[in-house]
Structure 1
Amino acid sequence: MDLAAEELQFLTLSSILKESINIPKLSTKTFSLITLTLIFPLSFAILAHSIFTHPLLNQIQSQSPSNPKTHQEWTQLFIIQFFYLIFLFAFSLLSTAAVVFTVASIYTSKPVSFTSTLSAIPRVFKRLFITFMFVSLLMIVYNVVFLACLVVLIISIETDNPILFLFSFIGLFVLFVFVHVYITALWHLASVVSVLEPVYGFEAMKKSRDLLKGKTQMAMVFVFGYLMLCGMIGGVFGRVVVHGGDNFGMFVRALVGGFLVGVLVIVNLIGLLVQSVFYYVCKSYHHEGIDKSALYEHLGGYLGEYVPLKSSIQMENLDI
């Protein structure tokens, strides 16, 4: 890719980020309430759950497997993880539904309020849930293949086989950097499709795949950047807050922990906004007209209302 193309790609990425960051200014109260009630609990749970699981893991590792107390601690660990995953799953879908619905309402000049967003979430949640289940099946297949490559990698290390090690390492690298990132991009875009179009589940995934064509590289850059930011935040949190008891005081750990939770809240909010805006970018790239009237009525259907409005959506602020 030549320099001019790289500059053009950078401007396009930055314009989407700029548009996404500016959206909350159009309805500050609504986005503040969404952030406080949905995105903050989600972000807090992502980081804080390790505070509860880490002591249990240490106790399990320090005791004999035949110790009755070990079985009790394993049970506690599984219960915590079970409820954590349920909480994570629920608030992830709720946050996605709320942000996508609110952004679409703003673009269609639909009255925006936290109450209307909450009213729409139950029907949006059902569609997102079905789409998530289909994506989960795809992720199960991915995890099986990833685990197989990991087993081969371990065998290659134990048998000191450099060729087998090289191929298994390359397989793991490709699976994570490309396949995992692509599936994540597919899932995020399919979630937006499930809210804004009358399709969900497997059809939403197919629609998402079609929309990603020509914009796959951009989507993977966004997803990879998001995953890296989350990874770095989680790494620092684990090092300082979870494992830093011997090196950092309680006040410092609390201060750093609170700061990192706040950073993750911002990252998650911007990530949800970016995936919402990126949907319109993909639609425009494929010359698919976005009928503002149809979208307005579709959003109103979640609330049981019908208000005709004839116009077409304009993304004038985006440099596509």
Structure 2
Amino acid sequence: MERAQEDMKYLGVFGIYREGHNIMAPRRKVFNQITLAFILPLCFIFLAQMEISKNLFSRIRYHRYRDNTNTSTDWVVYILFKLAYFTFLCILSLLSTSAVVYSIACIYANREISFKKVMGVVPQVWKRLMVTFIVIFVLNFIYTVIAVATMILSLTVDNKSSTFLFFVLLIIYITGFVYLTIVWQLASVVTVLEESYGIKAMNKSRNLIKGKFWVVLAIFFKLNVVFGSIQFVFYVFVVYGFVWEMWKRVAVGLSCLALLVPVVLYALVLQTIIYFVCKSHHNETIDKPALSKRLGEYERLLSEPYEVQLEKV
């Protein structure tokens, strides 16, 4: 491991940042290959959909308010585009998470790592991740529906305190949503490196965060401020930058993409390191042989089809 387990339990925000840099710097080639294969397309699709969605929605508004034509076809195109976008976004997110978590775990377990091995193992890993992703999506959906319904009902109360109650409920909702997101991110690592997935991975993640919540929250907040700033710049100067010349909008768009890619990669690396830090904090032994065996199971699953073919020959 890059650090002794006893040292890891005391890592704070900046210590985790340094650990992420120390892990990535000597292995830039592998992480650059993972970035080009998964994270770059993920970020490109994320930014591109903003521009495309705006154009499709503008077309709907134009047909509805300018020439009074039927917009049902435009809505179908818009919905189909959104479905395709979320499908590709989910797949690339699963693949990116699987690749980075597996790579960091191999580094901590002192296993040999190469892009070829990562590409072979990722299809074995992301299937388990999908279950956890679906669970957190359902939980977030239910939580959001209940929260929104409650906030709407609070506004129907005919007294002066309804507005105050609405904002209190809004703050509670945002707090809960942030907490669920943090738990989900760590649950993704748990799913890859342990037997737990789905609800069990969420419970494991929730327990691991205890005692390190404020450290995790600080990292989550800082990364999302950077992420939100990039998104804001893209919205203002690219999506709605009508007064700018096209080449300037393209230049800003490419700059946003160039900034977003390393942020996403670094975020995935940090959430994996946080898993090991939380394990150390709870005095859960990070057994390198056991971890190596767990990672080797994915490689064994990869080689089994070829072994069967050789036996038949």
TM-score normalised according to structure 2 size:
0.88
Query: Among residues 169, 172, 188, which one is paired with 2:170 in the alignment?
Result: 172
Aligned counterpart for 2:161 among listed residues 153, 160, 163: 163
1:212 to 196, 209, 212: 209
**Whole-Å separation in 2 of the counterparts to 1:20 and 1:39:** 17
For 2:85 and 2:48, the matched residues in 1 are separated by 10
CA contact (8 A) 1:152 1:164 kept: no
In the alignment, which residue of structure 1 is the partner of 2:294?
298
State the alpha-carbon separation in 2 of the partners of residues 13 and 220 from structure 1: 10
Q: Which position in structure 2 is the counterpart of 1:314?
A: none
CA contact (8 A) 2:63 2:69 kept: no
- Shift of the 24–70 alpha-carbon distance from structure 1 to 2, 3 Å rule, reads same
Structure 1 residue matching 2:285: 3-state secondary structure: coil
Q: From 253, 257, 263, give the equivalent of 1:261.
A: 257
For the pair 1:200 / 2:201, whether they are aligned, the reply is: no
In 2, Cα distance between equivalents of 1:92 and 1:233: 19
CA 1:150–1:249: 2 relative to 1, 3 Å = farther
User: Is 1:102 matched with 2:99?
Assistant: no
What 5-or-longer segments of structure 1 have no aligned partner? 1-9, 306-320
Q: In the alignment, what sits opposite 1:312?
A: none
Q: Is the 8 A contact 2:124 2:298 kept in 1?
A: yes
Question: Paired residue for 1:230?
Answer: 227
Q: Is the 8 A contact 1:40 1:265 kept in 2?
A: yes
Distance 1:152 1:63 in 2: 34
Distance 2:197 2:259 in 1: 32
TM-aligned CA deviation for residue 15 of structure 1: 0.7
Residues 204 and 154 from structure 1, CA distance in 2 versus in 1: closer, same or farther, beyond 3 angstroms?
same
1:217 partner letter: W
Runs of 4+ in 1 over 3 A off after TM superposition: 65-69, 152-156
* Counterpart in the other structure of 1:14: 14
CA displacement at 1:270 relative to structure 2: 0.8
1:223 CA drift (Å) = 1.9
Q: Which amino acid aligns with 2:208?
A: L
Cα separation, partners in 2 of 1:263 and 1:83, compared to 1, 3 Å: same
Is 1:249 equivalent to 2:250 in the alignment? no
Partner of 1:82: 83
Rounded Cα–Cα distance in structure 2 between residues aligned with 1:99 and 1:19? 15
Which is worse superposed, 273-282 or 226-235? 226-235
State the aligned residue count. Answer: 292
1:155–1:62 CA distance, 2 compared to 1 (3 A):
farther
Q: Is contact 1:108-1:296 (8 Å) kept?
A: yes
For the Cα contact (< 8 Å) 2:60–2:74, is it kept in 1?
yes
Deviation at 1:85, TM superposition (A): 0.2
Contact 1:181 1:224 in 2 (8 A): no
Equivalent residue, structure 2, for 1:310: none
* CA shift for structure 1 position 61: 1.9
Corresponding residue SS for 2:299:
coil
State the alpha-carbon separation in 2 of the partners of residues 274 and 202 from structure 1.
Answer: 23
Separation in 2, partners of 1:63, 1:207? 51
Mapped partners of 1:219, 1:275: distance in 2:
9
Once structures 1 and 2 are overlaid, which stretch shifts more, 198-207 or 58-67? Answer: 58-67
Partner SS, residue 88 of structure 1:
helix
C-alpha contact 2:100 2:269 (8 A) present in aligned 1: yes
Matched residue, 1:284 = 280
Residues 1:143 and 2:144 aligned together = yes
Return the offset for 1:147: 1.8
Q: Work out whether residues 189 and 275 of structure 2, in 8 Å CA contact, stay in contact via their aligned partners in 1.
A: yes
Letter in 1 for 2:162: L
Kept in 1, the 8 Å contact 2:155–2:166? The answer is no
Distance in 2, Cα, partners of 1:249 & 1:237: 15
Instruction: Tell me the residue number matched to 2:308.
Output: none
TM-score (norm 1): 0.86
Moved more, 286-295 or 230-239: 230-239
Conserved 8 A contact 2:155-2:162 = no
Change (3 A) 1:115 1:184: same
Residues 54-63 or 288-297, more deviating? 54-63
Q: What is the CA distance between 1:39 and its match in structure 2?
A: 0.6
The gaps in structure 2 that reach 5 residues or longer are: 1-9, 302-313
For residues 80 and 153 of structure 1, do their structure 2 counterparts lie closer, same or farther at Cα, with a shift above 3 Å needed? farther
| Structure having greater relative contact order (Cα 8 Å, sep ≥ 6) | 2
Contact 2:131/2:198, CA 8 A, preserved across alignment: yes
**Alignment RMSD:** 2.0
CA–CA distance in structure 2, aligned partners of residues 154 and 40 of structure 1: 43
Moved more, 26-35 or 81-90: 26-35
What letter is aligned with 1:170? V
Q: How far, CA to CA, are the matches of 2:200 and 2:21 in structure 1?
A: 30
